[in-house]
Structure 1
Amino acid sequence: MPASDASATNVKLSCRGLWKVFGEGTRRFLDRHDLESRDGPPGTAELAAAGLIGAVRDATLEVHDGEVFVIMGLSGSGKSTILRCLSRLIEPTAGELLFEGRDLLAASEAELTEIRRHKMGMVFQHFALLPHLDVLRNVAFPLEVQGVERARREARALEVIELVGLKGREGYFPRELSGGQQQRVGIARSLAAEPDVWFLDEPFSALDPLIRREMQDEFIRLQRVLAKTIVFITHDFDEAIRLADRIAIMKDGAIVQIGTPEQLVTRPATEYVAEFTQDVARAKVLSVRSVMVPGPIPNEVAGELPAAARIAEVAHRVVRAERPFAVVEADGRRVGLLERDAVLEVLAPPDRGAKAAP
């Protein structure tokens, strides 16, 4: 998916200096520390010494309107906790949280309930479908909770059921559906209320690999149609690469780097990020723009390639062609050449572990 231009989009959801600390005496501990001091906030060792767990530590991020923002990390890194803080399913310990410019931490329970019902959609790893309701009534359930009259809510439910590819199964019960179909019902239910922000917490991780790939394809299709603002949690970097505009990598409750997939792979900010991304197939991440030769374009070229395309998408054409390709930006400008050797270098990079010959 194309990386979004942060400068050209509005911030939909953001947090600054967000903390979620578990354990007794949390408030007393934090009161003794200046979380914005020049010496930096307390680390994991200091928290552990006080018998506390810093599930989210000093997290700052912005999610822009219409982008897919993926938060990823290993188990226990804090990615699911920060998602629940962003939606206020759990209360942050400290920090700022803004939704559409509004202080979400200042919202009352009644206001928060209304925001969740009308502005936020959520999909989790476990489908949590109501077993006694068929597909139509499962999908319509959030609208029923809102008090939408039956004809309207069922009409809307039928729309999203068709959108996720389940038309004809409206009368099926969850037990009569495959795992992938059940997840589609969960997705349809979360979309029924037309949320402004869509939270997905490892929604495909419980699925078999083939079904998971199918659901990723479905997710990409839906996003092209709906252009939702999405916060997506995963521990799978390949999945993140396929889906994300930008990615935040977490470690021990802290965000260590935010960037496009290409930025994380080519310019890792820390050794941890470098290790995290070292086995990623670079052809899936690197754009044509990143490996082209800028400058004038000769008259004789094999054709044109979009600058934003991934190398994996165009490699077969470039490798087989006798001439280089012109690289074209979205506005039609020719900005450089993509040559065969540059593509081969991405497909078969030098062995990092190999020693130079004497």
Structure 2
Amino acid sequence: MAGRLKIRVENVSKIFGGNPTAALAKVRAGMGKAELLETSNHVLGLHEINLDIREGETFVIMGLSGSGKSTLIRHFNRLIEPTAGRILVDGEDVLALNPAALRRFCRRKVSMVFQRFALLPHKTVLENVIYGLIMDGVPKPAARDRGMQQIELVGLAGFENHHPGQLSGGMQQRVGLARALATDAEILLMDEAFSALDPLIRHDMQMQLRDIQARLHKTIVFITHDLDEALLLGNHIAILKDGMVRQVGTGASILMAPADDYVARFVRDVNRARIVTCGALAEPGQVFANPQAASGASGWVIISDGCGGHGLMRAGTGARNGEAKLEDAITIEASANVEEAFGALARRDRPLVVMTDGRVSGLLGWQTVLKALERNDGTIGGPRC
């Protein structure tokens, strides 16, 4: 679970060209990206980006080609310097670091995984993984031990003495991931890390990253142009267009309430049933110790037996004279997605009881699910047929 604030991006703007300060003033006065390029031969990369990234979360920055996402991630370790703004990591302004402090920051606090692997072809897998450690002065035996731990973590044990040219694309990307993890950096920057891989290998890498993140709880900033990948990996997602943030939120919140027409079109064809959780849709449900206690309530109520079991009752159905009829309660975890609930929702005569850590979160019925899956055009964004 994400913790305290780790990274804060404050009003970061980037203009490419000979006089970026003057060009930025024009953008702030209302000039758009196309007009700026036409009139001054400057390119608007980013404009007043503000983001909060919490410790231990996977934060996805996504957008189409030219949206500014790769430009933005390169500001985190100052591969690109901004025209304006600040980037704070643990409260420290990265942009204010002198060269020596920046080198320490890049060696120990942040690691990067590139799209095209960036491996040294003449070195073995193990030598690639520990290269940064050796450059940082770690004794070779200790570096080898740490490198082998990461090689095993990414599933490449037995390949440590192979060279990159002897490996598949997916295996080479695992080497890049192991190299980034070997430094034990708190922040992992991943710039289109899986986009060059075949679909099946790409999915394997996505699932492996999720598994590694569940164990290590790194702060990951992940860049992608693929919405399905963003929804699969991201705790929070920022959608960029033309260098500006259009919306930030969880995958479910963006699907349920797109900020504008651009975002709505972007997410239109997503299978919402696989993204939206039962907990996100649960409506408040009243819990009573017995039917008599629910005599003044309305709608469906939950009756607890005090031992973790629950029943359902329509309030007012004979509770006062002891003739109340309890229905069996079907429970589902709040973390389950809506698609996983379809079977349980087949009994449309009663709602599901949604549970979180053994406690009742609320009730979920078919009408709520159908409303949640309905797109802006009135069609249903459920499973593709």
| Larger of the two Rg values belongs to structure | 2
Alpha-carbon offset, residue 55 of structure 1: 0.6
Alpha-carbon offset, residue 45 of structure 1: 4.4
Q: Relative to structure 1, is the Cα distance of residues 316 and 186 closer, same or farther in structure 2, using a 3 angstrom cutoff?
A: farther
Which range moved further: 307-316 or 195-204? 307-316
Alpha-carbon offset, residue 106 of structure 1: 0.8
Q: Relative to structure 1, is the Cα distance of residues 306 and 243 closer, same or farther in structure 2, using a 3 angstrom cutoff?
A: same
Q: Relative to structure 1, is the Cα distance of residues 127 and 301 closer, same or farther in structure 2, using a 3 angstrom cutoff?
A: farther
The 2-side partners of 1:187 and 1:130 are apart by 14
The structure whose RCO (Cα within 8 Å, separation 6+) is larger is 1
2:33 to 37, 44, 49: 44
Q: Relative to structure 1, is the Cα distance of residues 270 and 136 closer, same or farther in structure 2, using a 3 angstrom cutoff?
A: same
The 2-side partners of 1:163 and 1:353 are apart by 43
1:333 to 359, 378, 381: 359
Unmatched segments (≥5 aa) in structure 1 = none
- Amino acid paired to 1:303: I
Match of 1:25 in 2: 19
The 2-side partners of 1:76 and 1:56 are apart by 10
Match of 1:270 in 2: 260
The 1-side partners of 2:142 and 2:148 are apart by 10
Alpha-carbon offset, residue 178 of structure 1: 1.2
Match of 1:279 in 2: 269
Residue 330 of structure 2 contacts residue 344 of structure 2 at CA under 8 Å; is this kept in 1?
no
- Amino acid paired to 2:115: Q
Q: Relative to structure 1, is the Cα distance of residues 75 and 154 closer, same or farther in structure 2, using a 3 angstrom cutoff?
A: same
Secondary structure at the residue paired with 2:342? helix
Q: What is the 5 A alignment of 1:122-161?
A: 122-161=112-151
Alpha-carbon offset, residue 268 of structure 1: 1.0
Residue 6 of structure 2 contacts residue 90 of structure 2 at CA under 8 Å; is this kept in 1?
yes
Match of 2:221 in 1: 231
The 2-side partners of 1:337 and 1:227 are apart by 32
Residue 72 of structure 1 contacts residue 247 of structure 1 at CA under 8 Å; is this kept in 2?
yes
Residue 301 of structure 1 contacts residue 323 of structure 1 at CA under 8 Å; is this kept in 2?
no
Match of 2:302 in 1: 297
Alpha-carbon offset, residue 245 of structure 1: 0.4
Which range moved further: 215-224 or 44-53? 44-53
Q: What is the 5 A alignment of 1:145-224?
A: 145-224=135-214
Match of 1:15 in 2: 9
Summarize deviations over 1:253-301 as a string: whole Å, max 9, x none. Answer: 0111101111111111111111111111111221102333432325134
- Amino acid paired to 1:47: L
Q: Relative to structure 1, is the Cα distance of residues 252 and 157 closer, same or farther in structure 2, using a 3 angstrom cutoff?
A: same
Residue 44 of structure 1 contacts residue 53 of structure 1 at CA under 8 Å; is this kept in 2?
yes
- Amino acid paired to 2:200: L
The 2-side partners of 1:344 and 1:60 are apart by 34
Secondary structure at the residue paired with 2:126? helix
The 2-side partners of 1:34 and 1:218 are apart by 42
Alpha-carbon offset, residue 132 of structure 1: 1.0
Match of 1:102 in 2: 92
Count of residues in correspondence between the two structures? 342
Summarize deviations over 1:208-241 as a string: whole Å, max 9, x none. Answer: 1111111111010000000000100001111111
Give the root-mean-square deviation of aligned CA atoms.
2.3
Which range moved further: 174-183 or 151-160? 174-183
Alpha-carbon offset, residue 25 of structure 1: 1.8
2:337 to 287, 304, 310: 310
Residue 331 of structure 2 contacts residue 354 of structure 2 at CA under 8 Å; is this kept in 1?
yes
Alpha-carbon offset, residue 109 of structure 1: 1.3
The 1-side partners of 2:5 and 2:113 are apart by 22
